[in-house]
A and B are shown apart, each in its own frame.
Chain A
């Protein structure tokens, strides 16, 4: 069964540095998402992406964040200048279609900002 994959599994960075988290969604899926989960807390929506543009973003997704689909398979989340509070598990997800459609999650990237 196809799965969403993410790299790296762990990333440690210094405050103020840029990080890029990478995701490969399921191949026939059209909608892509980023969520984050701060340790011990609920999963929070960051952004959704379709047809090479952002569909929706949360208030967490400020100017420090950006997303891109640089080629036909990868979907990336960039954090330009990381803050301590960006430390979290970042999950990529994809769905075949919009609306009430199952979203499949990747294994996550654990980001630690020091």
Chain B
């Protein structure tokens, strides 16, 4: 089955700096890659997603890039703010099935 690896497991950045989180997946049939943000004790919230027919997607300070050949995708957060502090999960899904396979999560701490 699909396996999603996520790095780093923790990331500490200064406010205003950029944060990059990387994920790799194993199943070349996966074609949907969402990113979820989870604050302590709360539900995972979708922040951005990308489908395999595009290589990059941007939404304000957040961008995601996808390299299907290498089977990896990354989340980029620019101009980080303290409220960006949370655990971020990447996930992968196939068109033919719809379960999400999650990465292990990255705990991001933005220091003011």
A binding-site residues for B, Cβ under 8 Å: 4, 31, 33, 35, 41-45, 48, 55-56, 58, 91, 95, 98-108
Contact = CB atoms under 8 A, between A and B. Distances in A.
B73 interface: no
Interface in B15-53: 31-32, 34, 36, 42-46, 49, 51
- Could you say which interface size class chain B belongs to? 20 to 34
Most A CB atoms within 10 A — which of B51, B95, B99? B99
B62 interface: no
5 contacts: A42-B104, A44-B102, A100-B51, A100-B98, A105-B43
Nearest to B42: A107
A102 B46 contact: yes
A31 B107 CA distance: 30
Contacts of A4: 43
Contacts of B34: 102-103
Interface of B: 31-32, 34, 36, 42-46, 49, 51, 89, 91, 93-105
Contacts of B104: 41-42
Contact of B43 (A44, A91, A98, A99): A91
A109 to B, nearest CB: 11
A45 B101 contact: yes
A18 B94 CA distance: 33
Interface centre among A4, A91, A105, A108 (most CB of B within 10 A): A105
A95 B43 contact: no
